[in-house]
Every structure is written in structure tokens, then in C-alpha cells.
A and B are shown apart, each in its own frame.
Chain A
Amino acid sequence: MTSPNTYDAIIIGGGHNGLVAGAYLARAGKKVVVLERRPIVGGAAVTEEIFPGYKFTEFSYVVSLLRPEIIRDLELPKHGLKILPLPSTFTPMENGDYLAAWDDHDLTRRELYRHSPKDAEAYDEYARVMARAAKAIKPIINLIPPDPSSMSIRDLMGLLKVGQYAASLSEKELYMVAKLATQSSADLLEEWFETDALKGTKAASGIIGTYLGPRSPGTAYVLLHHYMGEIDGAFRAWGFAKNGSGGVSGSIFNATKALGVEVRVNASVQQVKVKGGRAVGVILENGDELDSKVVMSAADPKRTFLQFVEQKHLPDDFVTSIQNFRTRGSSGKVNIALSKLPNFTALPYTGNGANSVLHRGAVSISPSIDYIERAYDDAKYGQISKRPYIDMIFPSMIDPDMAPPGHHVMSCFVQYAPYDLEGGWTDQRRDELGEAVIATIEQYAPNIRECIVGMQVISPKDIERIAGITGGNIFHGELLLHQIFFLRPTPQWADFRTPLKGYYFGASGAHPGGGVMGAPGMLAAKEILKDGF
């Protein structure tokens, strides 16, 4: 009989990627344990009642790219996954008007026409071009990144595949992709549109989770990244998960349970055990030792390679390259419990607001590109944005079970809140971030303060402290051109393997990156199985 602490595979980290990897390995008949340092699983995809009765989708708050094959393979709907529609985006403007994008194409067009007939037309064309470009690069997401310098058959085949995709693009599309890869989102959007609120709102999606402004080169690519979820039209994996992001993790957790995965909480890993140049288990902080044939880390790259493994087991240049991996967080989160809905002066609601269409979707504080660039200017020099970009949703308007009847919760993603705040993060500075958010919202919804029942402000330091992500970057590392595909997390090691035999890496810091996508966990598990053990 094998000892109870002996496994085929140990997964470090019970975030969604760790759970996904565990599930795929268990599906292949492996004995798997997932170790989570917190008392709850989910990592940065958790829902917690910080104030009783009000459920906060604490960190991540929308599902955009959760891989459909994971939903089907793990039968997540049977385990409770429901992705609810988040139908619109509402941008209040500084002049008291607003710009909205509704779920119906004709309504959106009519709305845009009100601001600029020219933009209303350009919008369709822009959407088509972006969708085509996204479609062109989408197949790459599910590829194991080939190493262009390697001569191995697998890498060459992989390169061939990428080449085939590139070759299948028309000349025009190829230029478009090349341009998108190098441009700033501001430059791109200014080629197309004249309405400030439209450009601001579009540009915002190009800076989420990066330490860049809309005028920084490379941000146009991130815009493209966002179009990928939209190609699957009918599929609509984009939305708000029932019970928030904890609902996504919860369904994956239920699936792992059904597959016989052991999940241990309050199980903080101190070190990966190495024997004969191979990872053979882990030592927990409480001193317990677990043995296994393989170990996979679903933590961020820095923890995975600089904390869990003694550096003598890894090549120097690899260590340096991980040290240089950019993981600086630039965003925070303000979660608010509300006794009623804040009323936006640009489109006020009547009654209790239950019929307010704008509150069912996102509200974006992004009146112009300049507004966001100015917010970035503050952050560049280590300051909290005085007037930050805010992406708000009202989860209780989408899933009424998120708050007590008649009450609401509000989730505000805030950028910029630099990890390296000048003078460092203190309780006072955190309050300052909260105040910047409320003061900003107040400009558009003057009754916000009287609606607040409770508020949780999360700085990048808090993301690091609570969710355990070094630097507090929501993607475990910025989605910059030099940090994606075969360069993620570092050249030569983008195929989920690491220089330490038996040690694998499958989290947001690996290809294809962050967002509640689950792809790194799934792809890593598949590679582990390919290696056989």
C-alpha cells in the first residue's frame, strides 16, 4: 500500500488553473492532490462575504475566455457553472451625457449615431477588422508555443502551424496584425474614431492589467486579445458567472471532487523537494512532506521558481530571466455593499432601479483617452491616479442572489494603483485609493456615498498578500509582447516544462496568459501526461 502522502501529481495552488490541471490529471487516472494555502480554493477567482449577506467577487469579476473545451470536458454546468449575460457598457461623459453600447447591434448603432454618424459607420468596420485579426491569431491560443530557436521536431511542427496560419491571412490582414502588434491603442483608435468617450472606453480594455497607458506602444495588441472571446458569437463565454468568480472556481472544484482529486486547504507549500535533479514532492510550511512523481505549480512565476525551488537547481540565466519577468501590479479593486443603486445623472432610474438597464451591464469611467493617459501619468511616478479609470459592474443586478433582497453589491476595477507606490502602501494610502474611486464615481452618480453600507479596498499589495500573486499583477505578469507566446514566462520554457525535471508550470504566468481562462492549467496537464509518468 502506498502511503497516504504519496501521489502521482502534486499541484501547488488551488486557483482555477491549479484545479483545472488537477481535474485533467485525475481524468487520466492519476492520483492528484491540490494544495491551497488559503482556507478557501479559487485563488484570485473567489467570492467572499466580507460583509454578511453581500457577496463580493473579490478580485477577478468577469469571465471572458474560459475555454469552452474545459466547460465541456469537466462538465462544469453540471457542477454549477452558469455564465450570465453582461449585456452592455455605459460610459458617463464629463458633459453630463453618456455613451452606451447595448447588446443589440441596431440600438448600439443608433446610440453611436447620436454622437457621430461617422463613428457609427466606422464602428462596424472596425469590429470586422478586429474580429478578423483576432480570428487569425486565435488558433495560437491552444498551441503549445514552439521555440523558434529549437530544431526539435515538435517545435518545428509547431512553427509550421503558426506559419500556416500566418500564410492563410490576406496581405491586408497580415499588415493589420503587424500593426496591431506594435501600435498603441490610442494611435489605432484615433485612426478610426472621433468620439472621445468611445475612444476612451475602447482604449481602456487595452491597458487592463498592464503598467502602460493608452499611448504606450503594444497596447493595441491587448485590445485584440479582448476580441478573441467575441468570435465565438453564439458561444458567449463572456459574462458574469453566477456567484461571481468564486462560482467558476466552485464549479471546477466540484468537478475535481467528482473526479477524486484530493484538495487540501490551509496547506502552504514551503519548498519543492528535489532528488537526483528531479522534483519528487513538496514540504509544507507545517513540516508535512508529500511525495509525488511530478509537481506542477499554479502559482505565479516568481513564487514558482524563486521561492519554491532552491536556486541551485535552476540555471542562472533562467533565474535572471524570471527575476526580470514584469509582474508589477497596476490595478486595484473596490468592492462595495450598497443599500440602493447609485443613480447616474446621465440616465437616472426611477423606483428602486430594478429596471435600470445600465446597471445590468458594465459602467466605464473612461470619458477620453487623455483621461486615462493622465491617470497613467500619476502612476508612472508612483502615485495613485487622482481620477482613475474604473470598470464597474453591479453583480446583484445580474445575479440577484449576490446581495440581500433589495440591496446590491458593486464591483469596481480600478487602474492605476501602482504596486510600487511612492512611500509604500499603508492603511491610509489604501483609504486614499478608495476615496479616489468614490470621488470619481460621485462626479457621475452624486448619491453614491449615501448608498454605501460597506466597502473593501484592495491594493496590488493586498492582491499579493491575499491571493499570493507576486507584485499583485492580475495576469501574474503583464501581457506585453515580450511576455507572451514563446516568451512566456521565459524563452525556451514556454511549453509548461521547466529546467527542473518533473516540475511543471501551469498558471496565468504561462502561455496563453491571464484572465479566468483555465488554458494554462489544461495545457500544462496535457503536457505532463504526454511526458508519461
Chain B
Amino acid sequence: MLNLNLKTTPFHERTSALCQPQNWRKWAGYFVVGSYEHVLDREYWAIRNSAALIDVSPLIKYVIKGKDAAALLHRVTTRDVHKMKVGQVAYTGWCDEEGKMIDDGTISRLEEQTFRLTAAEPNLRWLMMNAVGMDVSITEVTDDVAALSFQGPNTRKVLNKVTEKPVDELKYFRLMTNKINGVEVTISRTGYTGDLGYEIWMNAKDALKVWDALMEAGSDYGITPVGILAMDMARVEAGLFMLDVDYTSASHAWIESQKSSPFELGLDWTVALDKPGYFVGRRALEKEKREGSAWKMVGLAVDWVGMEKLFGKVGLPPQIPGSAIRASLPVMVGNVQVGYASTSTWSPLLKTYIALAHLQKPYYEIGTDVRMEITVEHHRQHAPAKVVRLPFYEPEWKKK
């Protein structure tokens, strides 16, 4: 019989039993939990204070294998992949020939000639096109590999209770093979929250065994299943952007101005212009590096007192949605629009309304005073805000 339902993830049996509000979100063709509870607070705070267990299985995953595997990734992405050691993970974007971002994800060097690449969107065709003549196989393993993002300051303690080998020595952006409840897993010290955290990769058929082991071991450490809505708030605090929300893929853009370069997204540190040989977009990126970028993604911190005043005029206390808002909000200097915010959220930790914004030169300089659109009782207003350095929040234990 024809089934038009979305796919479910390997954790569905557990996640669906726990999802109180039936709040489901679509992610790359799968159902994932938006929130497990009616109010987001506890899920958000699990990320920042204890241990959040997040099903991230819909991430698109490729295994790239063969003599030329490193060469392919070296060519496609902006990182110096030849320098990567086995067990290392690198965050990267990849561009078209004009140096405009197509997608972003992580490269994991699993073995000398085996890599895993994650992506937000399907990239198989693009990878194949770049692999012409290379000795390499590219296999999509999205359905076969289940993934859990385990985020928060207590995650290390919980993992140490269930893993065969301790994870204490696992450094930031490194990975290790390990075993949980008899199941072979790869654990990487990565995440999308800007806190201490790990991502656990496993064979889909073993997914529930890993989930159960973590939930049991974590019960004394405040483990909490967390949906992607709470993660969305945390990732803004961490200054991390999202494809199709904060930028448009060069392969989908209708017009030039929709495209972004890695420099414009603040990814300067991932663009290895000093690496040997050709890579896609190299010339354009070199030029942009020389001439400076027209745009830049920055953080905006909205001034609370200013917002209070605007709401106060109509007799209201400031109203802020309880979750991240994925709406484009104009950013002004004087009466001129100088950019836009692409995601904004209330930060429960910082007690500040924050946004990821794309601003034109020279307004993207740290400390610039701008104004961001807010809606006050159906009327558009502009609240004072300041350009601040990203990330908004970076605990000392993130990399320690």
C-alpha cells in the first residue's frame, strides 16, 4: 500500500512515547520531536545545565571511501583535509565556483581512507561531479546510521558510566570508537549547542539499546530528552547558523543576492586559503579575502530598556515568543535598512533578546548601534540593538 507518511527515525519507538504535546517537526523527510514537553524551559535548561538527549538521525550522512577520499573532500570543501588526522572532525562549508556556500556540515576522518560527511541537504550529485576520475566511493548512509546529540555539562559523566572506554581524553572535535550496552558506536566531541557535548553515531538497528542505556545511566544526572525547538534556541546563543534559515544554498538561490560566502557567514577560520592545490571556489574566495566582504553575519543584542519603552507606550510589558523565530527582521540605521536578522530568540540564560543578523559593511563592526524590527501590538517598531561578537554564550567547559 502506498505510504505517504514521513519517515520515522530509529528512535521513534522511544521518542513518540515521550512526546507529550505531539509536537513533531519535519526534518529532511523525517519526523522528529519539536518538543517533548508543553513548555520548552526544561528542555532548554537540560542543554545548559545537565544532559540533553537529542535525536539528530535525519542529518544527511555520506561515507566517502577510497584512495582519493581525502583528495575529494580537499577539493570540495574549504578545509585542508590532507592535514586532518584519523579521529579528527572538522566543521566546514562548501562552495560553488563563485565561492558561495552550498551547504555546511562536519567531516570525520574515520580511517586513513574513510570519511563521514554530514550535510543539511542531499549533496550526492555535487560530490559525484567533483569525483570524476577519482578512486573513491560515495555512499549515503542516512538511514543506516542513527545519531544522537548528547549535550550539556553533565554528558561526560553520563557517558563514562555507559561506555566501555572512558571519554575523558576525547578532545573537542575529535572522535573515538567505543561501545555502549554492547553496541559499537562512534563518539565525536561535537554538537550544535555551544556547550560541552557529544554526538553518538551507531548502526540504526542498535539505536534503541544505546538510547535505553543513556536514559538509565543519566537519570541521576538530569538527563532529559530534548526536541529540536530547544536546540534551536541554544544554537543561536552559540552563534551557529542553519541552512535555509540563516542562508540560502547557492544551488537553490534564485538571485545572486540570496547567496552567501563563507566569509560573509563568519567562517573565515574554516577557509584554508593556504592549503595546497585547487578547491572549488578558491579564486573567488581569494579575491573576497583581498577586497573584504560586503556583508557579515554578526550577533545582535536587543536593548531591553529600549524594548520596554516601545511596549510601554501601548501599556504592555515586552512580549517575546518562547522559542526561536525564523523570520527575517529588517535592521536599520537611521531610516536606512542595513541588513536583516534571520533568526532571533529570547535567551533564557542571558536574559537578553538576541539575533543572528546579516549586516552590510561597515555596520557589521562590533559595537555598532542599530535598530531591529519588532512588532508591538500589530505595529512595526524598531528596537535599539548592538552588534556583538559571536558566540553570545561560550561556557569555559565547551572545549575543556
Residues of A within 8 A of B (CB): 68-69, 71-72, 77, 82-85, 87, 102-104, 106-107, 135, 168, 231-237, 242, 351-352, 354-355, 360, 399-401, 405-406
Contact = CB atoms under 8 A, between A and B. Distances in A.
Interface string B196-234: 000000000000000000000001111000000000000
A77 B320 CA distance: 19
A71 B349 contact: no
A398 B40 CA distance: 15
Nearest to A404: B220
Given A87-B39, A104-B38, A236-B41, A82 B317 contact: no
B317 A233 contact: yes
Contact of A69 (B37, B39, B305, B348): B305
Interface residues of B, number: 31
A405 B318 contact: no
A234 B349 contact: no
Contact of A231 (B49, B317, B321, B351): B317
A135 B317 CA distance: 8
B304 A354 contact: no
A139 to B, nearest CB: 9
Given A103-B38, A354-B220, A234 B305 contact: no
Given A354-B220, A400-B50, A234 B346 contact: yes
A77 B322 contact: no
B304 A87 contact: no
B41 A103 contact: yes
Contacts of A72: 304, 351-352
Interface in B91-144: none
Interface in B328-367: 346, 348-352
Contacts of B320: 234
Nearest to A86: B41
B290 to A, nearest CB: 36
Contact of A77 (B38, B39, B318, B350): B350
Interface of B: 37-39, 41-42, 45, 48-50, 154, 157, 219-222, 304-305, 315, 317-322, 346, 348-352, 393
Contacts of A85: 39, 41-42, 45
Given A233-B317, A236-B41, A82 B349 contact: yes
Contacts of B39: 85, 87, 103-104
A82 B48 contact: yes
The 5 nearest A-B residue pairs measured at CB: A104-B38, A354-B219, A405-B220, A400-B222, A85-B41
Given A82-B45, A85-B39, A405-B221, 6 more contacts: A71-B351, A77-B350, A107-B38, A232-B317, A405-B157, A406-B220
A237 B351 contact: yes
Contact of A87 (B42, B154, B157): B42
Nearest to A139: B312
Contacts of A106: 38
Contacts of B350: 77
Contacts of A135: 317
A85 B154 CA distance: 18
B229 to A, nearest CB: 15
Given A77-B393, A104-B39, A400 B318 contact: no
A353 to B, nearest CB: 9
Interface centre among A71, A77, A107, A135 (most CB of B within 10 A): A77
Contacts of B393: 77
A400 B158 CA distance: 12
A235 B38 CA distance: 17
Contacts of A71: 351
